Amino acid sequence: MGLSNGGPILISLEGEVMLLDIAKEGWLDRAACRDADNPSIWTSGSQKDSREAKRLCNTICPVRSHCFKWAMENNENTGVWGGLDTKERKELFY
């Protein structure tokens, strides 16, 4: 996701642009994806990238639960958030 330090940032997920306010969402500063060598693995949609993103989320990310909660509260329907891909998040409620 390539997050910056400071205020609001724009991120693009499969053509959709979203505004995330790091000051409001303080957990973003500690997210594993923030300093990832290849931030596109969280949003590429490929199974290989998705597996790697989930592995990193589930092993090294200290804010996985915050990320998952944000994704659910904001109906995020693209990419890996909180260690789960879109299909996995949808399956929790259907």
Q: How many CB atoms lie within 10 A of CB 89?
A: 19
How high does pLDDT run on average in the chain? 78
How does DSSP assign 29-53, residue by residue? GG-GGGG-S-GGGGTS--HHHHHHH
- The model's pTM is 0.71
Name the β-bridge partners of 10.
19
Domain boundaries, the chain: 8-91
Work out the average pLDDT over 71-94.
88
Map tokens 């915050």 to a residue. 66
Q: How many CB atoms lie within 10 A of CB 49?
A: 17
Q: In the structure, what pLDDT confidence band is assigned to residue 20 with cuts at 50, 70 and 90?
A: low
pLDDT (tens digit, 9 = 90+) per residue, 43-70? 888 999 999 999 999 999 999 998 998 8
**Quick one: which of 46, 45, 48, 67 has its CA closest to 58?**
67
